[in-house]
Amino acid sequence: MLAACESPTAPSNPTLDFAGTLIFGFPTLPTVALPEDGGILVTGELRTPTLGYQLRGVIVSDGNRALRLEVDAYLTEEPLPFTAQHYYRAHLKNLARGTYDLTVVHTFLYAQIVTDTVFRGPIRVQ
């Protein structure tokens, strides 16, 4: 019976495997979050106003089942005047079973910092 109950504690150390790549010619791809065994898979697209950006993912946990995935675009080379699409896959791992409040935020710097919350909702991890 105990195995069927949710763990009453939040994970002590959630981890993140993150990969991003430049894509061209796709319609806007929605941000999607799906539960996995012991984790959450998040995929999405971040558009930047120019080429020259790379993506970085960071997971922040408040220790109380609230997770925030920050997808940051940072300029790494001379920007070229073409809008760019960046696709990413983020595997949030080492999560105990239960329901998490997940927020996904995109941020990039272009003349000013631009931040957009692209996903917010509960995800049930098995």
Per-residue model confidence as pLDDT tens digits over 48-59 = 988 999 999 999
Per-residue model confidence as pLDDT tens digits over 96-123 = 999 999 999 999 887 788 899 999 999 9
2 within some domain: no
Structural domain that includes position 45: 8-125
1 within some domain: no
> Cα dihedral angle (81, 50, 115, 123), rounded to 10 degrees?
140
| Overall number of domains in the chain | 1
CA atoms within 13 A on the CB side of 27: 1
What global pTM score does this model have?
0.85
